[in-house]
Amino acid sequence: MLPGLDGTGLLFRPLVATLSGVETKVVSYPNDKALSLDEHARWVIRQLPGGKAVLLAESFSGLVALRVLQEALSRIAAVIFVGAFAEPPRPLLLRLAPVVSRAGPLMRNTPAFLLRQFCLGRDATVSQLNLLRETLAAVPPRVLSSRLALIGARQAWGKAKFGVPCLYLQASDDRLVPASAAEWFRGRFERFEFERIDGPHFLLQAKARECAQRISEFSARIGV
């Protein structure tokens, strides 16, 4: 399980608690230094199990998972993308990077209405909001800024095609990643499945039960 922008994996807690009968491993990225996309991918590859693994990549980590597939395809059985993108999803993100590098500590005081509007949805609980605030605030601002820069950069994917099974979970009310982002994946994966779930960008946190069901069904269909 590859985390979003925070890189900690802490926000996977609701999903892990809901998944039953599925062996999971959450990958946390180093937060003591800024890494390139290739360095993120190599970090993941070093932690892959001996057999084939199913990658679940959330948001930012969609980029990492794609690089892992390019470098270690034989070790991947399938991949699940959640709110992911292969190209810069919003031009505004390019301009946010230097702001975040100076505003990291302010994450703890981010107004609830902003987190509900852009991240967790209008039904977000206080505990969900607090977990998101604390998680983002724990990541050094320069690391957040570096990952935002990776999001804003155009990656060289070439004409790569992937034969592994792919499930793309899309939030119906995603304010950060446009619905059109899924089409890139549809065109690159020969075995592509698409599911749209009612919810915000932080789908795995806001709709953990629904996502767990889709993940379990997909895993059963592909025999893993």
pLDDT per position as a tens digit, 151-190: 888 888 888 899 999 999 999 999 889 999 999 999 999 9
Whole-model pTM: value is 0.90
Cross-sheet strand order for the sheet of 189-197: 53-58, 76-82, 162-171, 189-197
The pLDDT assigned to 92 comes to: 64
- pLDDT tens digits, one per residue of 5-20: 889 998 898 899 998 7
CA dihedral 155, 29, 206, 192 (to 10 degrees): 40
Domain ranges of the chain: 10-88+154-222
- Rounded CA-CA distance 6/180 in Å is 24
Least Cα distance to 7 among 63, 88, 85, 87 occurs for 63
User: What CATH number is given for 10-88+154-222 in this structure?
Assistant: 3.40.50.1820
Least Cα distance to 120 among 56, 212, 208, 180 occurs for 208
Confidence of residue 109 (pLDDT cuts 50, 70, 90): low
